[in-house]
Amino acid sequence: MKHVLKPSQYAILVAIMLSASIGDSFLKRGMGQVGAVNLHHLGLLWHALFNPYVDIGIVFLIGFFAAYTTALSWADLTFVMPATAFGPVVIALIGRYWLHEQLSVSRWLGIGLIVCAVGFVAGGPSRTEHPELDQMDAGASR
């Protein structure tokens, strides 16, 4: 049986692609304001929790983890994996088109390969059927 994803499930995959990289960007901006943290100034980590950019970043990363675990409840790990690799692509594209940074040829190639990877798995089934394992799991979780 081929699992066909619902629009809401595609939305979860898009959330996985975007939320981690957006969260990391907010964290980076927030930690830039907080300053460098080292072993002698660990108290800065507590101070960082009161920075609004860090807080927004943490909310996005919690959202990423929620979306990731939700996706794993209806899709294989090897199906979801390429979506998690899309984060660096989003950051590179934000750098290119929003911050006007230059991207090298090797980075464009990397972006192309990860986009291809997402395309490869998206065209296949999202879940491997294991009726016998699912029955055992259902018994174990009771």
> Which residues are at the interface with another protein (CB under 8 A)?
8, 69-70, 72-74, 76-79, 81-82, 85, 88-89, 92, 104, 106-107, 109-114, 116-118, 120-121, 123-125, 128, 130, 133-134, 137-138, 140-141
Q: Are the beta carbons of 26 and 56 closer than 8 angstroms?
A: yes
117, 84 contact by CB (below 8 A): no
CB 6 within 8 A of CB 75: no
Gap between the Cα atoms of 108 and 93, Å rounded = 10
- Rounded to the nearest whole angstrom, what is the least distance from the CB of residue 59 to another protein in the complex? 16
Q: Toward another protein, which CB reaches closer, 22 or 114?
A: 114
Q: Specify whether the CB–CB gap between 80 and 70 falls below 8 A.
A: no
Q: Minimum distance from CB of 8 to another protein (Å)?
A: 8
Single-letter code of the amino acid located at 97:
Y
- Taking the least distance from each CB to another protein, the nearer of 102 and 106 is 106
Residue 98 or 138 having the CB closest to another protein: 138
Q: Least distance to another protein from the beta carbon of 141, Å?
A: 5
Tell me how far, at minimum, the Cβ of 81 lies from another protein, in Å: 6
What does the alpha-carbon distance between residue 110 and residue 106 come to, in Å, rounded to a whole number? Answer: 6
Q: Please report how close the Cβ of residue 30 comes to another protein at its closest, in angstroms.
A: 17
Nearer to another protein by C-beta: 98 or 123?
123
84 — alpha (psi -120 to 50), left (phi > 0) or beta?
alpha
